[in-house]
Amino acid sequence: MKALMVVASLLLLGGCATDGQAPWTAMLAPSSCSKLSAEQELSLNLVDDLANDGKLHASLANLQGLPDNLVEVRLRKAKVYRLLGRNEAEPLYRGLLGTCLSADAEHGLGQLYAARGDNGQAQAHLQRAVRLAPTNENIHNDLGVVYLNQLRLEDARFEFLTAIELKQNNQLATLNLITLLIYQNNWQQAAEIVSRAHLTPEQFTDAQERAEKLKSPVKAKAAAGNQVAVVADPQPATIK
């Protein structure tokens, strides 16, 4: 009887600590993924190269020949499906929660909800991702994007600066910080960062346009399904 009470207590405590996720999932999640074979690593590198070149369909075709029991394969499928705007992405990401790739899964779900304009859900997933992978600059950048879209400017600034300090040449976070500064009419600091980061006039113009969208409620509402700022792994053909 005493053992049952202890188990029940652990379940209650676990439910509070995991933000609505199954308590045992977080407790039993492996800390690292199984080691891949040299052939599997080579295949996944090819998949990544194709995706980075914008050849998403070719990347997906190569993934179809790899075993689905590998979490690394399922994660890449989820990313490609997300970038293609396919519904298969969300269940794949959710299936990775509680695995060694939980942080990536939460990140992907956050990006999905941000693209849908659901900043509340996006924020929840990205906050969990940050807790799971606190030194991942891309997650900090994307959480900053969500805060910026909500006009939580100090929170957004904090996340962009964190991303920049974690990776000095992080142009995505730098562009987003410039967008925030222009929105605040802090042109001098924005210009200093542009000069220091060696950004192009086109990049500065892009940041200025994004800031103008933030200032216009009508435009922002019309574009509710798109991030105003720059997310970590945008689709090359459609999102800047």
24 belongs to a structural domain? no
Task: Report pLDDT for 125.
Answer: 98
d(CA 14, CA 231): 32
> In this structure, are 119 and 142 located in the same domain?
no
Return the residue matching tokens 């997650």: 139
Q: Is 204 inside any structural domain?
A: yes
Most confident residue range from 3-17, 169-183, 213-227: 169-183
211 in any annotated domain: yes
Question: Do 91 and 152 share a structural domain?
Answer: no
Question: What is the C-alpha separation between 43 and 17, in angstroms, rounded?
Answer: 38
> HSE (CB half, 13 Å, CA atoms) of 68?
5
One domain, residues 155 and 234: yes
**pTM passes above 0.85:** no
Q: What is the CATH number of the domain that holds 121?
A: 1.25.40.10
Comparing 111 with 17, the larger pLDDT belongs to 111
On whether both 144 and 240 belong to a single domain, the answer is yes
Residues contacting 63, CB < 8 A, separation 6+: 47, 73, 76, 77, 80
Tell me: the pLDDT tens digits for 35-86?
A: 888 998 899 999 999 999 999 999 999 999 899 889 999 999 999 999 999 9
- Which pLDDT score is estimated for 111? 97
Looking at 18-152, list the stretches that DSSP marks H as alpha helix, in order from N- to C-terminal side. Answer: 23-28, 38-52, 56-63, 71-83, 89-95, 102-115, 119-132, 137-149
Share of the chain above pLDDT 70, in %: 77
Q: Do 137 and 170 meet the contact criterion of CB atoms below 8 Å apart?
A: yes
DSSP code at position 99 = S
Q: Identify whether residues 111 and 144 lie together within a single domain.
A: no
Could you write out the three-class secondary structure of 110-124?
Answer: HHHHHHCCCHHHHHH
Determine, yes or no, domain membership for 15.
no
Q: How many domains does the chain have?
A: 2
Size of the chain in residues? 240
Take residue 179 and report the two structure tokens written for it. Answer: 């967008």
Q: Say whether 15 sits in a helix, a strand or coil.
A: helix
Q: Are residues 161 and 226 in the same domain?
A: yes
Residue-level pLDDT at 60: 95
Q: Which residue segment(s) compose the domain that 228 sits in?
A: 135-240
Round to whole Å and give the CA distance between 61 and 67. Answer: 13
Residue 21 lies in a domain: no
With respect to residue 1, please indicate whether it lies within any of the assigned structural domains: no
Encode pLDDT of 175-201 as tens digits: 999 999 999 999 999 999 999 988 899
For 46, 65, 103, 105, 118, the CA distances from 88, given in Å and listed in that order, are: 22, 17, 19, 13, 18
Distance CA 73, CA 44 (A): 8
